[in-house]
Amino acid sequence: MKLKFVDQQYQMDAVNSIVNIFEGCEIKNSLFTIDASQESNNSLNLEGEGISYFTGHANKVSIDDFTMLENVQHIQEENDIQRTKSLENKNFTVEMETGTGKTYVYTKTILELNKRYGFTKFIIVVPSIAIKEGVNSSLKATEEHFKEKYDNVVYNYFVYDSNHLERIRDFATSTNIEIMIINIDAFRKSFTDPEKENKANLIHRESDRLSGYKPIDLIKSTSPIVIIDEPQSVDGTKKSKEAIASLNPLCTLRYSATHKELYNLMYRLTPVDAYQENLVKHIEVASVTSNEASAKPYVKLMSVSDKGKTYSARLEIYVNNKKTGVIDKRIVTVKTRDDLWEVSNEVDYYKDSGYIVDNIDCFKDEESISFSNGEYLNIGETIGNVDDSVIKRSQIRQTIELHLNKELHYIKKGIKVLSLFFIDEVAKYRDYEREDEKGDYAIWFENEYNRLIQLPKYRALREKYADKISLDAEKVHDGYFSKDGKGRVKNSTGDGVSKDDETTYQLIMKDKEQLLSFDEPIRFIFSHSALKEGWDNPNVFQVCTLIETKDTMTKRQKVGRGLRICVNQDGERVLENKYNVLSVIANESYKEFASTLQKELESDNFKFGIIEPISFTGICMKQADGMTYELTQEDSQQIFNYLVENEYMTTKGKINSKYHTDKHEGIFNLPDKFESYTAKVMKRIDNLIKEIEVKDVSRKIPVKINKEVQLSPEFESLWNKIKQKTVYTVNMDIEKLKEQAIEQIRLMPRIKEDRIDSQITKVDINKQGVKDAGHQIRELNVVYEFEKPSYPDFIRRLQDATQLLRKTIIEIIAKSGRLSEFYVNPEEFIKQVSKIMLAIKKENLTEGIKYQKVNEYYEQVLIFNDEELYGYSERNVLEVDSNKNIYDHVIYDSVVERDFAIDAENDDDVVLYAKLPSAFKIDTPIGAYNPDWALVLNTENGEKLYFVAETKGTENINDLKGSEKKKILCGRKHFEVIDSGIQYEVVKELKGLRKS
């Protein structure tokens, strides 16, 4: 199989955020010569001089720094990012959450930069062998896709190898796109040990194979665009920064999910953005822990601390809740001489048993605690716990069971399910002291797998898919570890810098697509820390952490291996949310896992629940004059200041309780200047203070079809009334569109010619340092004479952008009276006009829509089924006891929906109601529309009324934002044309239907 790739809007936004930095740059060929007299057979001869040389080709930028800075600030404004004041040595940052395709994004960025500006030399710098292999594999996987997208453009990519320095000459002299992948250690070490003669330094040494040149000199002559993959691991030291600078980059592009330094942030896709927009799998946690209080003391050392005057330790112990009499595990803080009997509120297990803290050791790698009875614990170790092997074997069993449950359903969709185990020690999987070389984990896995696969519930898996998937326990799992010189697997640090590590990546990185195929029996992967970064697979659905105390991998690294959206056997992404759930099987509680993951995200510079001064930038509102206005960064700063001054928020951007109180009572308002934006500002605040939702497997509830209701005459009658399909046509009022476009183009801001500005800055030197004491900007119209611009076919360009007829566009431009400004600044004119036309077209698109019935119907068996349908108790699922609903539970998306379901359940006049599944979709010009409910109600005279209802926080659809409102209008027209006796209504609560 081959993975298939499609352009996604967020990826295009990330690409354009870099490419548009060079807006206005012309394609220019920059040449340099390389003396190659020692290799005349392969060189060109300069006529009359007898000099052999190579012609090198370099990147060249033709716009000045001021124009580039203007472009940067404009992009940042568009992306709701705080504008920077300098180019910071032309370092530009893209922040993208793990699993959202940053390698794809920067590969596409390379091709776009070449297409638009002619840049040809690119270097991808990586921190480890893992990422090096991952990048190389990604370039291979996407090559066919990108060549189709870019007219078979020739581009070469290679991994730097000091044994093949001739590739550096090819890199420098080629006129094609050249992409070199290089590990930072390949050219950093000479900065730390210039005398050391080893291959890592060959890049800085003169080479006979390059006519006496140093490879680094040829590289720097090309002025490459340097792309740093995971810069927090590449250039975090002074020596690393010097090494990057030695490449003489035209600019440096930095891509990661976890930046430590944000130079010129251009695009940001946060973990919450990716999670909420379903760009990655959702996460659920299966906790395998022992919580039963046994008749013996329990103590677990969580951490130690040397803060303050004395050492302290955090212990998990049994604690007596004296109000309820319940003993459960809690984390407490203790110091030397503390008695656990007293700390635990007199739990008998600790009485007279010598659990008095004798010593706490905080030295690095020796953190421990000892008690007066001689008991001793290192961090993570436990006294009185259930046997650790029982816990881990249970984790393995839980992983296999979750895996097989998904396999039953996913194979029908062509999705191969993979599970990944992270283990603490390779010997527990591969034990060379045993005859069969199987470690405990391998033995436990095969025993549990053989037992589970024989269960009756998996009969269909055994019978139907035995020809496609091997069910042999020995064949379905394998280990991916580093190997030593004898070919034996070994533990790895996971840093990915040693030669032994390469064996791991050659096995798993290069066979990613093979792993996705049903023809490959391996579905369970065991790994040490070697897979902590640089590798992931879209079909990893379970991540099991069989890790003990000294765990060097973060939870974010583990989860990151399985976040990508899954693919089927055709290599196509499967977007349905029900298939994109990552189960984490952890040997800790759900709360511990979620808490640690959130702390890791916060340590990676992501701030939960924080409002920033630019948070309200870009909010749009149509004003009384008919024009739509956007809040600028300056407006956002004023709103931020107002919230702080009125105690709705702290100076650090944390929302106070006063905001929630005033919002609930309906008295929250912004100053007069921004009053019309109040509702949208509140919505932005509410979105920003959301946190990632990690679901708890223990609360996962299967939702099943209520067959009695499904087969009832009431449901059959309801289904016959809503099953009709329709298609739509759009008859737009072109005259109205033209009038609106003419008016808005006439009122758009004046198009200005290109200019050069001068910024004069006053310097204030005081005890706080060198500060900007204020500046002013002046236009300098006579310092530089711009070349006469070329004039593109702007009518064709506007046609391509808007899909409007040529004559329509010509009429709009002519009547707007603004055509002369095209000749002032052609590109700015096209950009502003196309933006206006597209916005107006979208506004008018649904007004002229017409639906008509077709000879097609929704299939009940596809719409109403319970395959992989789950909810989570106390979160989004409501248990129903009556025979009114087609399911035994209602999965709701909001409090309004939950309350609607409760009212329907308790109302005697409701004969039947059903939450319409997401598969019930009505086509509209702005995306598929899924109504909320279908209902049957009794009337006072005994007749039945049939409804399709949309539940919103308001019954006035004019209060809804554009796309929501337009989809509802389309839904109404769809049901009107069906004319089957169905009433379609938008309501806030059930009683709203009675008014209809």
Task: Compute the distance between CA of residue 499 and CA of residue 490 in angstroms, rounded to an integer.
Answer: 13
Task: Compute the distance between CA of residue 774 and CA of residue 781 in angstroms, rounded to an integer.
Answer: 23
Q: What pLDDT, on the 0 to 100 scale, is given for residue 937?
A: 92
537 within 8 A of 513, measured Cβ to Cβ: no
Q: What angle do CA 686, 559, 573 make, to 5 degrees?
A: 85
Residue 892: CB partners within 8 Å, gap ≥ 6?
Answer: 876, 877, 878, 898, 901, 915
Question: What residues pair up with 33 in beta bridges, in sequence order?
Answer: 55
Residue 110's nearest CA partner among 48, 144, 154 is 154
Task: Compute the distance between CA of residue 245 and CA of residue 254 in angstroms, rounded to an integer.
Answer: 14
Contacts 24+ apart (CB under 8 A), 103-106: 103/134, 103/135, 103/138, 103/139, 103/229, 104/5, 104/11, 104/138, 104/142, 105/11, 105/14, 105/15, 105/255, 106/227, 106/229, 106/253, 106/255
List, as one string, the DSSP characters of 117-136.
H---EEEEEESSHHHHHHHH
Q: Strand 540-546 vs strand 581-586: parallel, antiparallel, or unpaired?
A: parallel
Residue 445's nearest CA partner among 337, 523, 556, 509 is 523
Q: At what angle do helices 388-410 and 440-453 cross, to 10 degrees?
A: 40
Residue 979: CB partners within 8 Å, gap ≥ 6?
Answer: none
CA torsion 945→949→954→956, rounded to 10°? -70
Calculate the alpha carbon distances from 592 to 316, 584, 624, 779 in Å: 12, 13, 52, 58
Both tokens assigned to 193 = 């040990």
What is the longest distance spanned by two Cα atoms in the chain? 108
Task: Compute the distance between CA of residue 21 and CA of residue 23 in angstroms, rounded to an integer.
Answer: 6
Q: What pLDDT, on the 0 to 100 scale, is given for residue 617?
A: 83
Task: Compute the distance between CA of residue 272 and CA of residue 251 in angstroms, rounded to an integer.
Answer: 29
CA terminus-to-terminus distance, the chain: 54
413 within 8 A of 578, measured Cβ to Cβ: no
Both tokens assigned to 669 = 């308002």
Burial of residue 100 (CB within 10 Å: 0-12, 13-18, 19+) is buried
Q: How many residues does the chain have?
A: 996
Collapsing DSSP to helix, strand or coil, 734 comes out as helix
What are phi and psi for residue 270, nearest 5 degrees? -80, 165
Which residue's entry shows tokens 């329509």?
Answer: 808
Question: What residues pair up with 489 in beta bridges, in sequence order?
Answer: 483
Residue 450: CB partners within 8 Å, gap ≥ 6?
Answer: 473
Task: Compute the distance between CA of residue 994 and CA of residue 976 in angstroms, rounded to an integer.
Answer: 19
Q: At what angle do helices 806-816 and 794-802 cross, to 10 degrees?
A: 120
pTM over 0.75: no
Task: Compute the distance between CA of residue 21 and CA of residue 76 in angstroms, rounded to an integer.
Answer: 10
Which residue's entry shows tokens 């603004």?
Answer: 818
Q: For 50, left (φ over 0), alpha (ψ -120 to 50), or beta?
A: left
What are phi and psi for residue 474, nearest 5 degrees? -75, -25
Q: What pLDDT, on the 0 to 100 scale, is given for residue 326?
A: 64
Q: At what angle do helices 129-149 and 501-508 cross, to 10 degrees?
A: 30
Query: Cβ atoms within 10 A of the Cβ of 812, count?
Result: 25
Task: Compute the distance between CA of residue 817 and CA of residue 819 in angstroms, rounded to an integer.
Answer: 6
Q: What pLDDT, on the 0 to 100 scale, is given for residue 52?
A: 63
Q: What angle do CA 879, 881, 885 make, to 5 degrees?
A: 80
122 within 8 A of 497, measured Cβ to Cβ: no
Q: Residues of the chain whose pLDDT is less than 50? A: 39-51, 197, 199-200, 484-485, 490, 493-504, 549-550, 756-786
Question: What residues pair up with 58 in beta bridges, in sequence order?
Answer: 30
Q: What pLDDT, on the 0 to 100 scale, is given for residue 106?
A: 97
List, as one string, the DSSP characters of 51-63.
EEEEEEEE----S
330 within 8 A of 338, measured Cβ to Cβ: no
Question: What residues pair up with 323 in beta bridges, in sequence order?
Answer: none
Collapsing DSSP to helix, strand or coil, 398 comes out as helix
Residue 862's Cα: distance from chain center in Å? 30
Task: Compute the distance between CA of residue 175 and CA of residue 191 in angstroms, rounded to an integer.
Answer: 31
Query: Cβ atoms within 10 A of the Cβ of 758, count?
Result: 11
Task: Compute the distance between CA of residue 179 and CA of residue 646 in angstroms, rounded to an integer.
Answer: 54
Task: Compute the distance between CA of residue 651 and CA of residue 613 in angstroms, rounded to an integer.
Answer: 10
Calculate the alpha carbon distances from 96 to 60, 105, 259, 271 in Å: 28, 10, 10, 8
Q: What pLDDT, on the 0 to 100 scale, is given for residue 539?
A: 94
Calculate the alpha carbon distances from 39 to 42, 46, 52, 259, 732 in Å: 6, 14, 8, 45, 69
Mark out the alpha helices in 769-825 (DSSP H runs).
794-802, 806-816
Task: Compute the distance between CA of residue 408 and CA of residue 649 in angstroms, rounded to an integer.
Answer: 50
Both tokens assigned to 826 = 């052609």
Task: Compute the distance between CA of residue 954 and CA of residue 207 in angstroms, rounded to an integer.
Answer: 75
